[in-house]
Structure 1
Amino acid sequence: MSSLKILSGGAAQGLVASLAPKFKAVTGLDIEGEFGAVGVMAGKLRAGTPADVVVLTAAMIADLARENLVAGASIADIGLVETAIAIRAGDPPVSVHDTAALRDALLVADAIFVPDTKASTAGIHVAKVLQQLGIADEVAGRLKTFPNGATAMRHLAASIAARPIGCTQSTEIISTAGVMLSGSLPRGCELSTVYTAAVATQAADVRHARDLIELLTGADQRALRTRAGFLEA
């Protein structure tokens, strides 16, 4: 066995990538991962996709534990991830200090890059916020939707629109070259999501799965988690 298999929400992709060299140095294993919308990743596990470690929202991991698809005793929180606004690198910062400012920023944007609005944590929330602000119909033609936040951010970085903006989880913004974090969503529109790791019940390598979770959640990696965009839960 040369790699450990992980199914993960896109929010943890940057953190996993930053820890991969240390994990290999300790275990000799690479990390073979699928990262994407949390609903899609949970669906893959339920459909039988092999995995040693699963990283999803705390609520989804709890559901999977009840379904006996992850080991309850292995569950460990990684941290909180905020949903935030992204801008293309080099563009002026966008103020979203309150709901009125967020509404104005979305209305003036000529392209809005977001993850899947039906299967991803941030995308589902963006759709709710647009409804809450009363602008869902007005900006519908400007929404650029992608399977996950990382893909949405890569397209934002490459956008030739005059005033593009993005909204996804802060970790996906931080880990994508060519975009910048412009601010968390304001009070009343905010979303902070706890991400949690667990060993899959059908894991082929339980010992090294536990090693990876210890790396992801251990106190000695707190500074790395913070740089990746994770806050203490």
Structure 2
Amino acid sequence: MSSLNILSGGAAQGLVATLVADFKARTGFAIAGEFGAVGMMADRLRQGTSADLIILTAALVATLAREKLVVPSSIADVGKVETALAIRSGDPKVSVGNASDLRAAFLAADAIFVPDTKASTAGIHVAKVLEQLGITDAVAARLKIYPNGATAMRQLAASDAAKPIGCTQSTEIISTPGVELSGVLPPGCDLATTYTAAITTKAENAAEAKLLIDLLTSSSQHAARSCAGFVRLEQSPN
């Protein structure tokens, strides 16, 4: 079976999964590829990994367009994704209405599950927030860092810690069994990131890539995007 190859941030994995059956019915193509930290996915493309389509942060896609690795006319925003807190299913929800609440929540946790703090959007932001809250050193030994948010959330779900917590993008929390969304980060510590799709300049299946972009961004898919955790651009808090 033919496959459309994707390099994507983990934030879009749940949404893409909802479109697999429809896409296959329309094209006969399966969807294959990699989902992970956006910086790592961009580097995969730069290093020559075969891909028809990318779904990364808007800033990274713009950079890749300047590097002539994606087709500028194909670029389309999918939506914004907020960075949020996660709890293990069944654990009490954590309420964080302000920065002081968030600081207390991190300090109360005996394990903090996060994605790559150097290559992933959410992980980089978590590191900045911990520094902003003045607790980087205090929680360093409790940080459980994984290559991407999906892996971090699976590890949170399986954790036997007494009071674990997770922090990654809301879409990765929503799509992972065994964890629950506990709320987005509060004002002053929040982050909403625009995710954008584009066809690569070396795409072997450009027509199919365009169709998937159309499905990802169409008004008919608004409910699917919302359920997956994407915020409509015109309604984003940022």
Q: Assess same fold via TM > 0.5.
A: yes
Moved over 3 A (4+): none
- The number of aligned residues is 233
Q: CA deviation at 1:187?
A: 0.3
- Equivalent position amino acid for 1:160 in 2: D
Residues 111-126 of structure 1: pairs in structure 2 closer than 5 A: 111-126=111-126
Question: What are structure 1's unaligned runs of at least 5 residues?
Answer: none
Counterparts of 2:133 and 2:57 in 1: how far apart (Å)?
25
Report the equivalent of 1:45. Answer: 45
Residues 106-145 of structure 1: pairs in structure 2 closer than 5 A: 106-145=106-145
Q: Deviations over 1:147-194 (max 9, x none)?
A: 000000000000000000000000000000000000000000000000
- Equivalent position amino acid for 2:146 in 1: F
Question: What are structure 2's unaligned runs of at least 5 residues?
Answer: 234-238
- Equivalent position amino acid for 2:174 in 1: I
- Equivalent position amino acid for 2:66 in 1: R
Q: Give the CA RMSD over aligned residues.
A: 0.5
Report the equivalent of 1:76. Answer: 76
Counterparts of 2:22 and 2:90 in 1: how far apart (Å)?
33
- Equivalent position amino acid for 1:200 in 2: T
Residues 1-233 of structure 1: pairs in structure 2 closer than 5 A: 2-233=2-233
Q: Deviations over 1:58-103 (max 9, x none)?
A: 0000000001000000000000000000000000000111101000
Question: Aligned with 2:165: secondary structure?
Answer: strand
Q: CA deviation at 1:33?
A: 2.0
Report the equivalent of 2:236. Answer: none
Question: Aligned with 1:162: secondary structure?
Answer: coil
Counterparts of 1:120 and 1:78 in 2: how far apart (Å)?
18
**Please, what TM-score do these two structures have when normalized by structure 2?**
0.97
Question: Aligned with 2:153: secondary structure?
Answer: helix
Counterparts of 1:126 and 1:133 in 2: how far apart (Å)?
10
